[in-house]
Structures are given as structure tokens and as C-alpha cells.
């Protein structure tokens, strides 16, 4: 099963991969690390002679539903893992967001891989309650930049044996090691989902509402605010057609619980406006749209992903809006802002970073043309001390600097 | 003394003690020098190992920690970061040439933000202290080690501590958003903040569980969570480990994730019942405590589901707590386990983890190994996550028994690894499991971990002699260096 878009090396086994990397290290030949390469259009472009794809390292290697654990080789399509879990009414609780529609690559023949989910620490709306991808990684096998096979952790829920290399590799964008197998914690799928919606709230009230709801004992599992212009892109015509901003709060549990919790939550947040509650099916449809980021355009408008504390989010967006032409949606109760800007020469990187500095926020450029991504800092710049540590960490895994050089920062 | 080898102290440092202490006093007004004061810091909760340290400093600010570390760095001194000293693995054991830097005086809550659901604290605050600070506001800090009354957040971060509620809420690493760290050369670095998912490499994740070997954590931003509407335990007795283990698997398989799921075997039940009078059944082989959360209606619904599931496993007893008093009684026995045990015997608390499906096999291995060494054992553990705590009984005044207990513990942990588990779920490696690391990891795995340690502490000054097999540790003083 050779993925046609990859003209690079597709190892059939961990040993083959290790031998290839050892050779590349010796020859000092940089290599680009890919899952199925669906997101190569995101992030800093890497210029390398070689390319490695994990697309042939596939298959679920362990699944124990009653122990809430699943393991898969890194190149296994995320969709395959999720389909298997679904058969047992389980799920990846961090709800990895699906960026495919964003990058215009809706080709299912090259689906995102499970390895890249952890390599990019990709989480979706449920992150706010259940944690990030990295919080669910129990064990990992990988090949470092020396061509050595390393493993950390295993299949058990709790493990503090030695330095936590699983966290170390999470979110490292293939710059430290190539993961070959990941073991994850899974959770039962909720039997029922209900969504409380309020319409037409200004950003300030919407985020205050989200924070208030997240502070109740009812375990709100997602809190998002989508402005009217972006809501118009949702699959549900009725919702999109309202022409109003949508603020949505999700409850997930056994039906007895969601119903009781929805009633109590509604009482507590009623002061914010009229509350509409939607049931299981339409809820699932709405949150599927959110997971696929359907509220964003599929176009080439520069797209930024900004994290900050919810209490600073609206002030930050207002400050940006005062100077730049933009649209913003707030996930994670306000802690994650998706910002689309009007086209410009440099994705307004300099201005944007200057403005958000006052709000202790961090911005990653998710979508922009290639030339722009080579020219601006895609990931948020690090303070000097942190960059020094990052360079040393890179050297600890990949002393020859051959794995995805420059993918995150020019220095690593 | 017992079998674990420690690095030789640097006699050059010991000889210069007075001058070094005087130097420390120039950078900190909080140096402990009197012999009795120093003895307080000679051991942690693994009391079989003791060393009076060279000096102890108890700073009151991050800047002071920085000055102290810079002094130690310039004078080639080894440093041990210390919280409350409740480590069970010898993680906070000093060597004779070590300067202990204890952060217990730094225990202030700096900021609470309910909208963002975070609290910023100095890390000398106790684990329970954080929950107490936000309790009136309806919030709590989730990781809850049994030692929470005493242990500090700093120690929790260094050990990545867990507790009974971790099945649902995760361990320490899942609940830390930011930290201030003083590096060995005195540099102050910030990782993360009060927001989710910091950019760049996951330094928060690497620091958490680093057992005092990477830097000294002085402040942290933690996630706080709204308290559930209510919670209540139920108690179930079974005739065999197979039935109890099967019931746990079936509960989880049915989509229920209780907030706590505790297991006790027959000896443990008897010891706890004798001590606490909790009303535990004494004629069963295994007892489960299952706690669920929610409103009264939700709890009733979940109890109903669990009862139905449990029926397939021949429970001899199922008792739902109907009141706060009954709930307290059910937990009283479990929570007093360590004290109850201490009353009848010296004991060593092991901390291995196994895949849940191997539970019956694991328990029979534990009894076989203990029988082999002629020692008694009681098992208490977090059944949801397979974190076993065999309590090995021995007589601390009998050197032979003590030695046998240590070897017995080692064999049990090796068995856990063989069953697909790991050496430690929450107490850390420390000195206790250092030499067993090669059973879980090969040398290449360990060398990669060692290289990461070296990123943070290039000269290996921080908490030396721990975590990695001595012959793999670089630096002076090590017999195998
Ligand atoms: C700046 C940026 C931010 C992003 N943020 C999000 C987000 O918030 N939500 C979201 O859903 N998606 C995000 N993505 C996209 C994310 O990469 C995809 O969702 C994804 O999982 C792509 O799958 P793939 O297998 O095609 O990965 P690829 O495009 O092949 O690889 C993605 C990255 O992971 C690395 N990688 C892949 N496999 C391995 C492996 N086995 N070992 C080590 N490294 C590996 C690659 O080197 C590369 O850096 C982001 C991407 C970028 C560039
Ligand atoms: C009765 C009892 C029950 C226990 N139950 C549990 C339990 O249920 N779950 C659990 O996880 N643990 C448990 N423990 C173990 C212990 O309480 C934990 O490991 C705890 O986190 C240690 O905290 P401490 O403040 O006492 O740290 P210490 O013992 O002082 O130190 C522990 C480690 O942390 C490092 N350290 C301390 N301060 C810092 C700092 N500022 N920066 C960097 N490193 C630092 C030390 O160097 C050492 O390696 C129990 C212990 C006892 C005695």
C-alpha cells in the first residue's frame, strides 16, 4: 500500500526505519518525517533530500476495552482506530480535531495517521474537560535521530518509571524521533449528548457564559462561541440560517444524567438569555462540524490558532480587531481562538504577535501559502532560555539534526 | 544497613563544610546548620536509609532559590530539592555531601481565577492546602495522594503523584498548566502558563515526574475543578480475585468510569476492619469500594447499573452508602490502611502496576513470592488502573528479615513488569527501584532518558544517585563512574 503522494522511503518495519535513519544520520542527510503527509501544507516547510512516511507501519496491536487501552502502529489511519473503538462504544476522549477540510485535502485515501495526532498533540473541543492528546498517551515506541529504537511506558494507566519520554515526544512535530507505535488511554462513549445553545450573544457575554457553565458541577464537555458569519457555514441549515452567533455548551453522559444536568444548567445560565436545548442526533451533527472546523472557510485566508486564558480572550480579539480585518471563533470556553485574517503579505504575523503579547497569548500560523510560511515564524517564538533548552533537547534525541530540521523553529 | 548502594560522598566537600556553609549564609538567611536541625532532613518516608546532609536551606522566594543554586553551581555542590519528605522510594534521601533545598516555607496561594479554573501557588503548599483554598468556592484540586495532608505540590510534580480519584481526573501531569523552575545554574525559567497547551516542546511534561533531577520547581499554575454535586461509595464482597477483577472489567466495559475503584484482599480487609471498625465483611476474599459522583438521581441510576453488572460475579455482599456517615465508614477502613498496618507490623509498601486482566495471576504471584521469603503480605490497590500496593510485613529490627523484605519487594516488581506492567505507578523510582530499571527498560531506552536528564542538569548535581542504575550515571563520587 504505497501512498502515491510520497516519493520517499516507506519502511515496512521498525527495524527498516531504524536502519534508514542510522544511515541518514551517518551521511548527515536531513529527512522529512511524514505520517500520510496530509498536513504538509501546514507549518514551516522543510527542505530535505530524503523523506520518510509511516504509511506502511499500520495496524492495531492491542485492544483491551475493559482496561480502556488501545495500541496501534504509528501509520495506522486515525479513522481506523476510531472505527474500532466505536464498535465497542469507546472513543479517544480528546476528540482529535480533523483539519482535512481546512487544507482542502479531503482525500480519504490518505487519512491522517494516529502517530501524527500525538506528534502534533492535536486535540479538539473536549480538551477543555478531558485533557489533550498528550494526556492520553500511555506508551510509545520510536526511532530517534541516531537510528536507535527507544520505548517508554507501556499499556498501563499509571506509570512514573523514569523520565517521561512520551510527553517529551508529544507535540514535537517529528523533530525529535519518529514514533512507530503509540499506546493510548480510551474512554467509554457517552450514551447521550445534549447541547444547550444561546443565540446572538456578544463575545463578552458569550465567554462569560462559557466560563460560568464550565464552573458548574455538570461536566460541560465543550463550550464554543461561533460568530454569525462563521455559523452560516455549519451543515445544519436551520442553525446556519439564523444569521446569529451561536454559543453552545455540551453535556455527555447517560441519558438520565444529561437530562437532569441540562435542566439544572439551564436554570443557572438562564440570566444570559433564552436557552435552546438540542438532543442527541442534532448534537452529534453540530459537534462533528465543530470537530471538522466547518465554521472556518476552506479558502487560503491566513488562519491562526491562538491560545490564552479564557478571561483574556475577548479583550485580545477586540484589540486585534481594532487593527486588523479578522473573524474569530472561540473554543475551549475562550481558551482557543481560531482567527481568520484578510489576505496580506505576511499573514500580519508581526502585528498580530505584537498585539497579543499584552494578553500572554500564543499564536501558531495554521494556514498560509508556502512562501509566507518560510518567511514568518509559524510557531510562537520562544524566550531565549526556553529556546536554548529546546536546542539541547533536540540534540539529545537527534544530534545530527536530521529529523524535520526547521519544521518547528529555524533553530531546531 | 541494607543492600542499596549509594554514591560515595566527596570528601573534599565534607572537609570544606564550614566555609561552604558560611558562603550559603551570605546568599540566604535561611540556612539550617545545627546538628539536630539537620537530622530532620536525613531521610524521607523510606526510613531504612539515612544520611545527615551537608547543609539545609529553606528559602522563601524563587530569587533566593536562584541565589542558593548559583552558589552551589559555582562551588560544585550537589543539591537535593525537597518538599515534605514523604517520598516512599528514597527520592528525598540526601547524601552526606548534599545541600538540601527545601521549599516548604514557600506555601502561599498567589492567585485564584475561577473563570479560567486555575490557581497559581508556591509549590511548598500541601496538596490538600490547594483544595482547601478553593473549597469554599466549590472547587478542588484533583490529584489526591493518600499523603495529601502532608506532601507538597513540589513533591507531587517531581513524582507525578496520583491518588484514588485519578481514574477519572488523571494524575499530576494532567493537572499542571505552568511552572516556574530554577535551573541548577540559578537561571529562572517559565514553562507553560495559565492557558492550555503551551507551544514548543513539552517541558511541563518532562519536568513532571523528573524526581528532583531537572530543576527546582518553585511556583506552579494548577487546574482546579468544580466539585461534583455529590459522591457516594458502594461496597462489594467477592469469593475470589477472579470474580472481583471480572466485576471491575465489566463495570468499565459497560461504559461506567467510577471516580474511585479500590480493591482490598482478605488480609487487608481484616487489618483495616480491626483498626477502623468500618463494618467490612470478614468472610470474603476480595472487597471493592466503588465511588460514583453526581446528583442523588444520578448516583441511584449508576448504583442500579453497577448492581446489575455485579450480579454475574456472585457478590456475597453489596452495600450502598445511604448517608454521609455510611460513606465515611466505608472509606474509613480504606483510608486508615497504612496506619492500621503499622500497628501490627513493620511493612514495606510496594507500588507496581499490572494490566487489569492479569489481576488474579498477579495476586497469586505476590503471595507465592512472599511465601518464598517467609513474609506476610496484604494487598490494597487502585483497581481501576491496576496500581498494586502489596504491603510486605517484616520485622525491622531483624536485619535478615529486612533484607528478605527488600528482595521480596524487588521480585514482586519484576513480576509486575513480566506481566506487562511497570515498576512504579506513583511512588517513583528514587533509590528503591533504581537497580530494577533495567528490567523494564533496556540500556538504549535508559541512555535516551539520561541524555534528557543531562539537558537540564549537565553536571549531574541534582538529586544524584537516584533513578538510573549507578553504573550508568556519569559524574564524580559514583563508584562506577
Ligand atoms: C502548525 C500546525 C498546527 C496544527 N494544529 C492542528 C490542530 O489544532 N488541530 C488539528 O486537528 N490538526 C492540527 N494540525 C494538523 C495535524 O498535523 C493533522 O491533524 C494530522 O494529524 C496530520 O496527519 P498526517 O498523518 O497526514 O500527518 P503529517 O502531515 O504527515 O505529519 C504531521 C506532523 O507530524 C509529524 N509526524 C507524523 N507522523 C509522525 C511519527 N510517526 N512520528 C513523529 N512525527 C510524526 C510530521 O513530521 C509532521 O510534523 C496542525 C498542523 C500544523 C502544521
Ligand atoms: C502514608 C503515605 C501515603 C502515600 N500515598 C501516596 C499516594 O496515594 N499516591 C502517591 O502518588 N504518592 C503517595 N505517597 C508518596 C509521596 O507522598 C509522594 O511521592 C509525594 O508526592 C511526595 O511529596 P513530598 O512533598 O513529600 O516530596 P519529597 O518526599 O520531599 O520529595 C519527593 C521528590 O520530589 C523532589 N522534589 C521535592 N521538591 C521539589 C522541588 N521544589 N522541585 C523539584 N523537585 C522536588 C525530591 O527531590 C524527591 O525526588 C505516600 C506517602 C506516604 C508516606
The predicted structure's pLDDT at residue A271: 95
Burial class (CB in 10 A: 0-12, 13-18, 19+), A221: buried
pLDDT at residue B481 in the model: 34
Residues of A in contact with B210 (CB under 8 A): 163-164
Q: In this complex, do A165 and B448 lie within 8 Å of one another by their Cβ atoms?
A: yes
CA distances from B46 to B213, B427, B432 (A): 19, 11, 9
CA A292 to chain centroid: 11
At residue B338, the pLDDT reads 84
Residues 6+ apart with CB under 8 A from B320: B232, B234, B303
Three-state SS letters, chain B: CCCCCCCCCCHHHHHCHHHHHHHHHHHCCCEECCHHHHHCCCCCCCCCCCCCCCEEECCCCHHHHHHHHHHHHHCCCEEEEECCCCCCCCCCCCCCCEEEEECCCCCCEEEEECCCCEEEEECCCEHHHHHHHHHCCCEECCCCCCCCCCCEHHHHHHHCCCCCCHHHHCCHHHHEEEEEEECCCCCEEEEECCCCCCCCCCHHHHHCCCCCCCCEEEEEEEECEECCCCEEEEEEEECCHHHHHHHHHHHHHCCCCCCEEEEEEHHHHHHHHHHHCCCCCCCCCEEEEEEEECCHHHHHHHHHHHHHHHHHHCCCEEEECCCHHHHHHHHHHHHCHHHHHHHHCEEEECCCECCHHHHHHHHHHHHHHHHHCCCCEEEEEECCCCEEEEEEEECCCCHHHHHHHHHHHHHHHHHHHHCCCECCCCCCCCCCCHHHHHHHCCHHHHHHHHHHHHHHCCCCCECCCCCCCHHHCCCCCCCCC
Q: Is the pLDDT of residue B425 over 70?
A: yes
pLDDT of residue A1: 36
Average pLDDT, chain A: 92
Q: Are B459 and B196 in contact (CB under 8 A)?
A: no
Domain B345-430 has CATH 3.30.70.2740: yes
pLDDT tens-digit readout, B313-341: 999 999 999 988 999 999 999 888 888 99
A132's CB contacts (< 8 A; 6+ apart) are A94, A121, A123, A170, B196, B197
Identify the DSSP state of A319. Answer: H
Instruction: Say whether residue A338 is in contact with chain B using an 8 A CB cutoff.
Output: no
**Three cell numbers, residue B137:** 468556592
With a Cβ cut-off of 6 Å, ligand 2 is lined by B 44-45, 80-88, 91-92, 103, 123, 145-147, 151-152, 154-156, 158-159, 161-163, 211-212, 216-217, 338, 426-428, 463
Q: Has residue A193 got a pLDDT over 60?
A: yes
Q: Is A87 on the interface with B (CB under 8 A)?
A: no
Mean pLDDT of all residues in A242-268:
96
Higher pLDDT, A50 or A356: A356
Inter-helix orientation angle A310-323/A203-214, to 10°: 160
Task: State residue B224's pLDDT score.
Answer: 98
Residue A383 to residue B421, Cβ atoms within 8 A: no
Note the maximum CA span of chain B: 71
Residues of B in contact with A155 (CB under 8 A): 355, 420
Antiparallel, parallel or unpaired: β A69-73 and B98-102: unpaired
Separation between Cα atoms, residue B150 and residue B153, nearest integer Å: 10
**Residue of B99, B123, B155 to mutate, ligand 2, most atoms within 8 A of C-beta:** B155
Nearest-atom number in ligand 1 for the CA of A407 is 49
Closest residue to B199, CB basis, from A123, A379, A397: A379
pLDDT band for position A347 (50/70/90)?
Answer: confident
- Cα-based distances in Å from B175 to A130, A223, B75, B158, B162: 10, 19, 36, 13, 11
CB contact under 8 Å between B196 and A332, yes or no, is yes
Contact B121, B110 (CB under 8 A): yes
Q: Which residues of A touch B429 (CB under 8 A)?
A: 160-162
CA B65 to chain centroid? 24
Output the ligand 1 site: residues, CB below 6 A: A 33-40, 42-43, 54, 74, 96-99, 112-113, 115-117, 119-120, 122, 173-174, 178-179, 305, 364, 366, 378, 404, 407
Confidence of residue B478 (pLDDT cuts 50, 70, 90): very low
C-alpha cell read off for B378: 496484604
CA distance B248 to chain A (A): 8
Q: Which of B145, B354, B455 to mutate to test the interface with A (most CBs of A within 10 A)?
A: B455
Question: Averaged over B187-207, what is the pLDDT?
Answer: 96
Q: Which of A55, A49, A46 is nearest to A10 (CA)?
A: A55
Q: How many residues are listed for chain B in this entry?
A: 481
Ligand 2, atom 8: nearest CA belongs to which residue?
B145
**A389, B199: Cβ pair inside 8 Å?**
no
Return the C-alpha cell found at A137: 498517551
Q: What pLDDT band is residue B443 in, cutting at 50, 70 and 90? A: very high
Mutate to test the interface with A, among B202, B382, B420, B450 (most CBs of A within 10 A): B202
Q: Give the burial string for B146-157 (b: 16+ CB within 10 Å, else e).
A: bbbebbbbbbbb
Does A123 lie at the interface with B, CB-CB under 8 angstroms?
yes
> Residue B109 pLDDT more than 70?
yes
CA distance B284 to B171: 31
Residue A193 host element (H or E): strand A192-199
For chain B, give the percent of residues with pLDDT over 70.
Answer: 98
Tell me: the pLDDT tens digits for B123-180? Answer: 999 999 999 999 999 999 999 999 999 999 999 999 999 988 888 999 999 999 999 9
Find the helix or strand (DSSP H, E) in which A58 lies. Answer: none
Pocket test for ligand 1, best of A30, A120, A181, A367 (most atoms within 8 A of CB): A120
| Residue B276 vs residue A391, higher pLDDT | A391
* Sign (positive or negative) of CA dihedral B366, B367, B372, B378: positive
Residue nearest to atom 24 of ligand 1 (CA): A112
- The CA-CA-CA angle for residues B244, B245, B248, to 5°, reads 90
Q: How far apart are CA B353 and CA A157, in angstroms?
A: 8
Dihedral angle over CA of A282, B251, B336, B412, nearest 10? -120
Closest CA to B107 of B138, B83, B78, B76: B83
The whole-number pLDDT of residue A41 equals: 62
- What is the predicted pLDDT for the residue at A299? 75
Residue A298's pLDDT band (boundaries 50, 70, 90)? confident
Percent of chain A with pLDDT over 70: 94
Confidence label for B477 from pLDDT (cuts 50, 70 and 90): very low
Rounded distance, CA B87 to CA B430, Å?
8
Q: How far is CA B145 from CA A5, B172, B196, B462, in A?
A: 50, 10, 24, 25
Question: What pLDDT shows up at residue A11?
Answer: 95
pLDDT tens, position by position, B24-71: 999 999 999 899 999 999 999 999 899 999 999 999 999 999 999 999
Picking from B447, B478, B440, the residue whose alpha carbon sits closest to that of residue B460 is B478
The one-character DSSP state at A70 is E
Contact A247, A201 (CB under 8 A): yes
Q: How far B325 CA sits from the closest chain A CA (Å)?
A: 23
pLDDT at position B457 is 97
Residue partners of B70: CB distance under 8 A and separation at least 6: B27, B185, B186
Strand pairing partners for B188? B182
**Residue whose entry in the numeric block shows the C-alpha cell 479564557:** A310
Q: Which residues contact B355 (CB under 8 A, 6 or more apart)?
A: A64, A67, A69, A155, A156, B386, B419, B420, B421
pLDDT for A368 equals: 86
Of the pLDDT bands very low, low, confident and very high (cuts 50, 70, 90), residue A297 is confident
**pLDDT computed for residue A47 by the predictor:** 76
- What's the pLDDT at A39? 58
Is the pLDDT at B191 greater than 90? The verdict is: yes
The three cell numbers locating residue A49? 533530500
Q: Which helix (H) or strand (E) holds A50?
A: strand A50-53
Closest partner residue to A158 (CB to CB) among B387, B445, B455 is B387
Predicted local distance difference test score (pLDDT) of residue B384: 86
Distance in angstroms (rounded) separating the CA atoms of residues A373 and B286: 60
Q: Residue B128 CA: which ligand is closest?
A: 2
Paired residues of A250 in beta bridges? A195, A222
B162 CA: nearest ligand 2 atom: 11
Into which CATH architecture does domain B231-336 fall? 2-Layer Sandwich (3.30)
Name the closest residue on chain B to residue A151, using Cα atoms: B445
User: What does the alpha-carbon distance between residue A367 and residue A103 come to, in Å, rounded to a whole number?
Assistant: 8
Query: Which residues, 6+ apart, have CB-to-CB distance to B293 below 8 Å?
Result: B168, B228, B229, B230, B231, B259, B299
- Interval A15-54: pLDDT, tens: 999 999 999 999 999 999 988 766 566 667 777 878 899 9
pLDDT (average), residues A168-183: 97
Does pLDDT of A6 surpass 60? Answer: no
Q: Do A215 and B384 touch (CB under 8 A)?
A: no
Q: Among the atoms of ligand 2, which is closest to the Cα of residue B126?
A: 25
Grid coordinates representing B155 are: 513533591
To which H or E segment does residue A340 belong? strand A336-341
Instruction: Please judge whether A389 and B257 are an interchain contact, meaning their C-beta atoms are less than 8 angstroms apart.
Output: no
* Partner residue facing A156 (CB), from B197, B205, B421: B421
Q: What is the mean pLDDT of residues B287-294?
A: 95
- CA A290 to centroid of chain Cα atoms: 12
The pLDDT of residue A375 is 84
Count of residues in chain A: 412
pLDDT score for B475: 65
Quote the pLDDT of residue B232: 95
CATH classification code of B11-102:
3.30.43.10
Q: Long-range contacts: B74-78, Cβ < 8 Å, 24+?
A: B75/B20, B75/B23, B76/B13, B76/B459, B76/B461, B77/B13, B77/B20, B77/B461, B78/B10, B78/B13, B78/B461, B78/B462, B78/B464, B78/B477
Residue nearest to atom 34 of ligand 2 (CA): B155
The predicted pLDDT at position B133 comes to: 98
CATH number of B109-226: 3.30.70.120, 3.40.920.10, 3.30.465.10, 3.40.50.720? 3.30.465.10
- What pTM does this model have? 0.95
Summarize pLDDT for B69-103 with one digit per residue, the tens. Answer: 999 999 999 999 999 999 999 999 999 999 999 99
pLDDT value at residue A243 = 95
Which residue of chain A has the CA closest to B469? A162
Report the pLDDT value the prediction gives residue A2, as an integer from 0 to 100.
Answer: 37
- Chain B hits for A93, CB-CB cut-off 8 Å, are none
> Considering only CA atoms, which residue is closest to atom 50 of ligand 2?
B147
Chain A nearest C-alpha distance from B226 (Å)? 5
Amino acid at each position: 500500500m504505497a501512498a502515491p503522494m510520497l516519493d520517499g522511503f516507506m519502511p515496512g518495519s521498525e527495524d527498516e526505519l531504524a536502519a534508514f535513519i542510522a544511515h541518514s544520520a551517518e551521511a548527515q542527510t536531513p529527512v522529512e518525517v511524514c505520517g500520510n503527509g496530509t498536513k504538509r501544507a501546514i507549518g514551516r516547510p522543510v527542505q530535505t533530500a530524503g523523506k520518510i512516511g509511516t504509511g506502511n507501519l499500520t495496524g492495531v496491536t492491542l485492544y483491551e476495552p475493559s482496561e480502556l487501552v488501545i495500541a496501534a502502529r504509528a501509520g495506522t489511519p486515525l479513522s481506523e482506530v476510531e472505527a474500532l473503538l466505536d464498535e465497542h462504544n469507546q472513543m479517544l476522549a480528546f476528540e482529535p480535531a480533523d483539519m482535512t477540510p481546512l487544507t482542502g485535502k479531503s482525500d480519504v485515501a490518505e487519512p491522517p495517521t494516529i502517530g501524527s495526532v500525538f506528534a502534533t498533540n492535536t486535540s479538539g473541543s473536549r480538551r477543555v474537560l478531558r485533557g489533550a492528546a498528550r494526556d492520553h498517551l500511555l506508551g510509545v515506541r520510536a526511532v530517534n535521530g541516531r537510528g536507535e529504537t527507544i520505548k517508554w511506558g507501556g499499556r498501563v494507566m499509571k506509570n512514573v518509571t523514569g523520565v517521561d519520554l512520551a510527553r517529551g515526544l508529544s507535540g514535537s512535530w517529528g523533530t525529535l524521533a519518529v514514533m512507530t507505535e503509540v499506546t493510548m488511554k480510551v474512554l467509554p462513549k457517552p450514551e447521550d449528548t445534549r447541547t444547550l445553545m444561546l443565540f446572538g450573544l456578544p463575545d463578552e457575554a458569550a465567554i462569560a457564559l462559557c466560563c460560568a457553565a464550565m464552573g458548574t458541577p455538570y461536566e460541560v464537555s465543550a463550550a464554543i462561541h461561533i460568530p454569525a458569519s462563521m455559523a452560516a457555514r455549519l451543515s445544519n441549515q436551520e442553525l446556519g440560517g439564523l444569521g446569529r452567533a451561536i454559543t453552545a455548551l455540551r453535556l455527555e453522559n447517560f441519558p438520565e444524567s444529561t437530562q437532569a444536568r441540562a435542566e439544572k444548567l439551564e436554570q443557572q445560565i438562564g440570566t444570559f438569555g433564552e436557552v435552546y436545548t438540542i438532543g442527541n442526533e442534532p448534537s452529534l451533527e453540530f459537534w462533528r462540524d465543530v470537530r471538522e472546523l466547518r465554521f472556518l472557510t476552506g479558502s487560503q485566508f491566513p488562519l491562526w490558532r491562538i491560545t490564552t486564558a479564557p478571561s483574556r480572550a475577548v479583550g485580545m480579539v477586540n484589540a486585534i480587531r481594532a487593527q486588523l480585518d479578522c473573524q474569530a471563533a472561540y473554543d475551549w470556553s475562550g481558551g482557543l481562538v481560531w482567527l481568520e485574517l484578510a489576505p496580506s503579505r505576511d499573514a500580519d504575523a508581526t502585528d498580530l504577535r505584537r498585539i497579543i503579547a499584552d494578553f500572554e497569548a500564543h499564536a501558531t500560523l495554521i494556514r498560509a501559502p508556502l512562501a509566507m510560511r518560510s518567511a514568518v515564524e509559524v510557531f510562537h517564538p520562544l524566550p531565549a532560555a526556553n529556546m536554548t533548552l529546546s536546542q539541547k533537547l533536540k540534540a539529545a534525541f537527534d544530534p545530527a539534526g536530521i529529523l524535520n530540521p526547521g519544521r518547528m523553529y529555524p533553530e531546531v | 544497613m541494607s543492600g542499596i548502594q549509594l554514591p560515595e560522598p566527596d570528601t573534599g566537600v565534607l572537609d570544606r563544610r564550614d566555609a561552604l556553609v558560611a558562603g550559603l549564609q551570605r546568599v540566604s538567611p535561611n540556612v539550617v546548620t545545627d546538628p539536630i536541625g539537620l537530622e530532620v532532613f536525613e531521610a524521607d518516608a523510606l526510613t531504612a536509609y539515612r544520611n545527615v546532609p551537608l547543609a539545609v536551606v529553606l528559602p522563601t522566594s524563587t530569587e533566593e532559590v536562584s541565589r542558593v543554586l548559583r552558589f552551589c553551581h559555582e562551588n560544585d555542590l550537589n543539591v537535593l530539592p525537597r518538599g515534605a519528605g514523604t517520598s516512599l522510594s528514597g527520592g528525598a534521601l540526601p547524601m552526606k555531601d548534599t545541600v538540601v533545598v527545601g521549599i516548604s516555607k514557600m506555601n502561599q496561594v498567589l492567585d485564584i481565577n475561577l473563570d479560567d479554573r486555575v490557581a497559581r501557588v508556591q509549590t511548598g503548599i500541601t496538596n490538600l492546602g490547594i483544595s482547601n483554598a478553593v473549597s469554599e468556592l466549590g472547587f478542588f484540586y484533583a490529584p489526591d495522594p493518600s499523603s495529601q495532608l502532608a506532601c507538597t505540590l513540589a513533591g507531587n510534580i517531581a513524582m507525578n503523584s496520583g491518588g484514588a480519584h485519578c481514574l477519572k481526573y488523571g494524575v499530576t501531569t494532567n493537572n499542571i498548566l505552568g511552572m516556574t523552575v530554577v535551573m541548577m545554574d540559578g537561571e529562572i525559567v517559565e514553562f507553560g502558563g495559565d492557558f492550555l497547551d503551551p507551544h514548543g516542546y513539552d517541558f511541563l511534561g518532562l519536568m513532571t515526574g523528573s524526581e528532583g533531577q531537572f530543576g527546582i520547581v518553585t511556583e506552579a499554575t494548577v487546574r482546579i475543578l468544580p466539585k461534583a454535586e455529590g459522591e457516594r461509595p458502594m461496597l462489594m464482597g467477592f469469593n475470589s480475585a477472579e470474580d472481583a477483577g471480572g466485576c471491575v472489567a465489566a463495570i468499565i466495559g459497560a461504559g461506567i468510569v467510577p471516580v474511585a475503584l479500590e480493591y482490598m484482599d482478605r488480609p487487608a480487609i481484616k487489618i483495616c476492619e480491626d483498626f477502623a471498625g468500618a463494618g467490612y465483611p470478614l468472610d470474603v476474599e476480595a472487597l471493592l469500594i466503588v465511588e460514583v459522583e453526581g446528583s442523588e438521581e444520578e448516583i441511584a441510576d449508576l448504583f442500579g447499573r453497577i448492581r446489575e453488572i455485579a450480579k454475574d460475579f456472585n457478590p456475597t455482599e453489596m452495600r450502598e452508602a445511604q448517608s454521609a456517615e455510611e460513606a465515611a465508614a466505608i472509606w474509613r477502613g480504606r483510608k486508615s490502611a497504612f496506619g492500621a498496618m503499622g500497628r501490627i507490623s513493620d511493612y514495606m509498601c510496594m507500588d507496581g502496576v499490572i494490566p487489569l486482566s492479569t489481576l488474579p495471576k498477579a495476586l497469586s504471584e505476590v503471595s507465592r513470592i512472599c511465601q518464598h521469603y517467609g513474609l506476610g503480605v496484604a494487598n490494597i490497590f487502585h483497581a481501576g488502573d491496576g496500581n498494586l500496593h502489596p504491603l510486605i510485613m517484616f520485622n525491622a529490627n531483624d536485619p535478615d528479615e529486612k533484607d528478605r523484605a527488600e528482595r521480596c519487594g524487588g521480585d514482586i516488581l519484576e513480576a509486575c513488569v513480566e506481566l506487562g506492567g511497570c515498576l512504579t505507578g506513583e511512588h517513583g523510582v528514587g533509590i528503591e527501584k533504581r537497580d530494577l530499571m533495567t528490567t523494564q527498560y533496556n540500556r538504549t531506552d535508559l541512555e535516551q532518558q539520561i541524555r534528557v536528564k543531562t539537558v537540564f542538569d549537565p553536571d549531574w548535581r541534582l538529586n544524584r544517585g537516584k533513578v538510573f542504575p549507578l553504573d550508568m550515571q556519569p559524574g564524580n563520587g559514583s563508584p562506577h563512574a
